[in-house]
Chains A and B, each alone.
Chain A
Amino acid sequence: MKVVLQNLTKRFPSRSKKGDDVIAVNDFNFEIPDGKLIGLLGPSGCGKSTTLNLICGLEAPTSGSILFGEDDVTRLPPENRGVGLVFQNYALYPHLTVLDNILFPLQNLRGAEKLPRAQMLEKAMTAAKLVQIDELLERKPSELSGGQQQRVAIARALVKMPRVLLLDEPLSNLDARLRLQTREEIRRIQQETGITTIFVTHDQDEAMSISDMIVVMKAGVVQQIGAPQDVYDQPVNLFVATFLGTPPINVFDGTVRAEKLYIGEAAVCDVPGVGDQRVTVGIRPEGFVLDQNGPFAVKLSRVEVMGRDTSVVSTHPSSRNPVIRSIIPSLSRVDKTAETVRFSLIPQKVFLFDAETEARIPFESGIPGEGKQA
C-alpha cells in the first residue's frame, strides 16, 4: 500500500498563554512507495514520533492530508485505517498470555468481519510463526525477554494483516547484540509480508542498515529523503551530514580561494566551480588517506586500533570538534610517536557548506559515485 503525506502539519498549542505554538511537524510531503521499509530518522524532539502518530491516527493533523493508496484516511479514526502499530514499550497486555495478546485484535472484529474461533487461532498461529514465537504462546509477557516481547508486539500488529505497519523506536529497549539480530528480523518480516513499513528511530545505524529509504528530520522539518547510501554520500546540508555516520563527520572552518579549498593555510583539495568565500567543510572519517606528502597536516593525539581498521585521532586549529577522527585501513602503519600526520583527501568524501545557511555547495568531485564504500 502506497502512503502519501501531503503538506502534513501538526501544531501543539503552547503550554503558556503567551508562548508560541510548537510546530511538531511542518509541511511534510512524501510519497512512500508500496512495500518498502522506511526509516524516519532524527534527534529527540524532531517530530518523527508525531509523524508516526499522525499516520496511525492517534493524533489529528492541523492541516494537510494522508492517503493510503487512493483512500484519504486523514479524518478516519485509527481503527478504520488498517494500520498496525508496535509501541516503543510494546504495550503488551500483562495479564493476557502471548496467544491472547495476539488474538486480541481479532476478537474485536464485529459483524461481517467476525471470524470463527478456529480461523482466529489459525491467523494467530501464522503471525506467531512469522515472528518465531510459536513455542511461547502460553506464557505471560513478564516471562519473556525484551526481544521476545518485541516479537509478540509485532505479531499482534500483523495479525490483522494491516495495510501499513508502524514501529516506534523498535530497537531502543534491546541490548546491543539483540538489536543487531532484531533489525535483521524486522527486515525479514517486512520482506516476507510485503507490508509497507515505517519505523522511527534516532539511531542512524539502525535506519541506514535496514531501510529502503530514510527520511531525516530536524525540528519538524524534513531535511532529506532518499536511499540510505545516497543520503550519506550526498547530504543536502550540514545537519544531515553530521547526523549520519559513525564516527561522525569532521567539521572545519575553511575558505575557498581560486577554486581551491584552504583549511588553515594549506590548500587541501581542488573544488572546481566554487566561488571565493568562507565555507564550512565536512570530511568523512574515511575521506582521509595517509600520505607522507599530503597537503593536510594535523597534530597527532593518539592512534586507536580496532582490528578491522585503525582510527587516527588528531587535532587541528580550524576543526570545530575537539578532535578529528579519521579511519584508515589497519594495514597502513602509523608512526605513533610522530608529532604530525599528513593526509591527502578523497574529494567525494569532502562536502562544502555555506558558512551562513549551512546548505551544501556542490562541486565537481570527479566521477559521481566513485569512492563509494559498500
Chain B
Amino acid sequence: MKKKSMKGWLYLLPAMVFLGCFMVYPLIDVLIYSLEEGYNSASQTYYGVGLYNYSYVLRDPYFLQAVRNTFLLVIITVPLSTGIALLISLGLNAIKPLRNLYQTIYFLPYVTNTLAVGLVFMILFKKTAYTDGLVNLMIQWFGGKSVDFIDGPYWAKMFVLCFYTVWVVMPFKILILTSALASVNPEYYSAAKMDATRSWRVFYKITLPMISPMIFYLVITGFIGAFKAYSDAVALFGTDLNAAGMNTIVGYVYDMLYGNSGGYPSFASAAALILFAIVLTITCINLLISKKHVHY
C-alpha cells in the first residue's frame, strides 16, 4: 500500500514541481511582500510587518480610480457582450445560406492582434490635427458636436474602452454559443412545436436552460477576464493610464512595479491580492447563483 502511494507521488512530481515553482512560490512571495512595510527592493530591507501596504493602496486615489474603472468595465461589458453574442448566435443558428461566411467574419477579431485593433480604433475615434476621426465625422454628419474620445471627457473614454472590450471578446463567445446551440437536440424543438409553444417560451424554457452551462462558463470567464483588463486600455490610451484617468487594477499593479512611480513591489502585491479577493468573491457569488439557474 505504502509503495503504491509512493509511486503515485512520483507520477505527480513533475506537475508539482512546476506548479510549486511557478504558482505556489510566487503566490506566497506576493503575500509576504504585501505584508512587509517600507520594503526597499535595492537594499532588500523593510521596517516591519503589518497591513500598512493595504491601507495605503486603499487610500491611493489612483487605485480607487482604477477600481472604479475596472468595475464599470466589468458591469457594462460582461452582460452586454454575452447578450449580443447570444443574439448573434441565435441569428447564425437560424440562417442556412452564408452561415459559414458570417461565422468567419465574426471570428476575425479573435485572430487579430490587440495592438492592430487598437490602431483601428484610434482611426475610428482619435482626434488629430488633420481629422476628427471617422466616428466624429459621422456624428457631425448627423448634426452633432464632435467629441474627443481619446483625450476628452471621462464618459467618452469609458465608452470607447467598453466598445473595444465588447468587440474583442465577442468572437470567442459567439463561437462557444453557436456550438452550444447547435448541440441542442432538435427533437426538443419538434416536441415544443407539437405542443404549440410560442417562440419566446421555446427560447426561455428550452433553449436557455439547455445552453445555460455554456452561458455560465462565458459569464465566469468574462468576469475574470474583464477584472484583469489592461492591454486594451494601453492599446487605446497609451501607457500613462493614470494621467488619462483610465487605469485598471492590473494596470495599477504594473505601474507600481515598473511604471513611472515604479519600484514599489509591496504596494503592487497588496493591490494584486485585493484584486484576487474581489475576483474570488464575485466568482463565488456566480457559483451560488448558478446552482439555481444552470442545468447540467
Chain A bound to chain B: yes
Closest to B210 in A: A95
Across the interface, do A91 and B191 meet the contact criterion of CB distance under 8 Å? yes
B196 at the interface (CB under 8 A from A): yes
> In the complex, how many angstroms separate the beta carbon of B223 from the nearest chain A beta carbon?
24
B99 at the interface (CB under 8 A from A): no
Known: A91-B187, A91-B188, A93-B206. A105 touches B195 (CB 8 A): yes
Across the interface, do B295 and A108 meet the contact criterion of CB distance under 8 Å? no
B3 at the interface (CB under 8 A from A): no
Across the interface, do B295 and A95 meet the contact criterion of CB distance under 8 Å? yes
Assign chain A's interface to a size class: 20 to 34
Q: Is the interface of B mostly helix, strand, loop or mixed?
A: helix
B225 at the interface (CB under 8 A from A): no
Across the interface, do B194 and A108 meet the contact criterion of CB distance under 8 Å? no
A residues 70-94 with Cβ under 8 Å of B? 77-80, 83-85, 87, 89, 91, 93-94
How far apart sit A119 and B270, CA to CA, in the bound complex (Å)? 61
B residues 166-217 with Cβ under 8 Å of A? 185, 187-188, 190-191, 193-198, 201, 205-206, 209-210, 212
Assign chain B's interface to a size class: 10 to 19
Across the interface, do A95 and B209 meet the contact criterion of CB distance under 8 Å? yes
Q: A81-116: contact bitstring with B at CB < 8 Å (1 yes, 0 no)?
A: 001110101010111100000001100111000000
Across the interface, do B194 and A85 meet the contact criterion of CB distance under 8 Å? yes
A37 at the interface (CB under 8 A from B): no
Known: A91-B185, A94-B295. A85 touches B210 (CB 8 A): no
Closest to A104 in B: B195
How far apart sit A104 and B205, CA to CA, in the bound complex (Å)? 10
> In the complex, how many angstroms separate the beta carbon of A228 from the nearest chain B beta carbon?
28
How far apart sit A79 and B205, CA to CA, in the bound complex (Å)? 17
Known: A93-B206, A95-B209, A95-B295. A87 touches B195 (CB 8 A): no
A58 at the interface (CB under 8 A from B): yes
> In the complex, how many angstroms separate the beta carbon of A62 from the nearest chain B beta carbon?
20
Across the interface, do A108 and B187 meet the contact criterion of CB distance under 8 Å? no
Across the interface, do A56 and B194 meet the contact criterion of CB distance under 8 Å? yes
How far apart sit A156 and B197, CA to CA, in the bound complex (Å)? 14
Across the interface, do A108 and B197 meet the contact criterion of CB distance under 8 Å? yes
A contact residues around B193 at 8 Å (CB): 58, 77-79
> In the complex, how many angstroms separate the beta carbon of A195 from the nearest chain B beta carbon?
15
Q: Which of A95, A104, A109, A110 has the most CB of B within 10 A?
A: A95
Across the interface, do A79 and B187 meet the contact criterion of CB distance under 8 Å? no
Known: A94-B295, A95-B210, A108-B201. A89 touches B187 (CB 8 A): yes
Across the interface, do B210 and A108 meet the contact criterion of CB distance under 8 Å? no
A contact residues around B194 at 8 Å (CB): 56, 58, 78-79, 83-85
B contact residues around A160 at 8 Å (CB): 195
Across the interface, do B195 and A93 meet the contact criterion of CB distance under 8 Å? no
How far apart sit A79 and B194, CA to CA, in the bound complex (Å)? 5
A contact residues around B212 at 8 Å (CB): 95
How far apart sit A160 and B191, CA to CA, in the bound complex (Å)? 14
> In the complex, how many angstroms separate the beta carbon of B147 from the nearest chain A beta carbon?
46
> In the complex, how many angstroms separate the beta carbon of B241 from the nearest chain A beta carbon?
44
How far apart sit A52 and B167, CA to CA, in the bound complex (Å)? 47
Q: Which residue of the partner chain, among A56, A85, A94, A108, contacts B196 with CB atoms under 8 Å?
A: A108
How far apart sit A83 and B194, CA to CA, in the bound complex (Å)? 8
B contact residues around A87 at 8 Å (CB): 187, 190-191
Q: Which residue of the partner chain, among A94, A95, A108, contacts B195 with CB atoms under 8 Å?
A: A108
A-B contact pairs, 21 of them (CB 8 A): A58-B190, A58-B193, A58-B194, A77-B193, A79-B194, A79-B195, A84-B194, A85-B190, A87-B187, A87-B190, A89-B185, A91-B188, A93-B188, A93-B205, A95-B210, A95-B212, A104-B195, A104-B197, A104-B205, A105-B195, A108-B196
Residues on A close to B: CB < 8 A?
56, 58, 77-80, 83-85, 87, 89, 91, 93-96, 104-105, 108-110, 156, 160
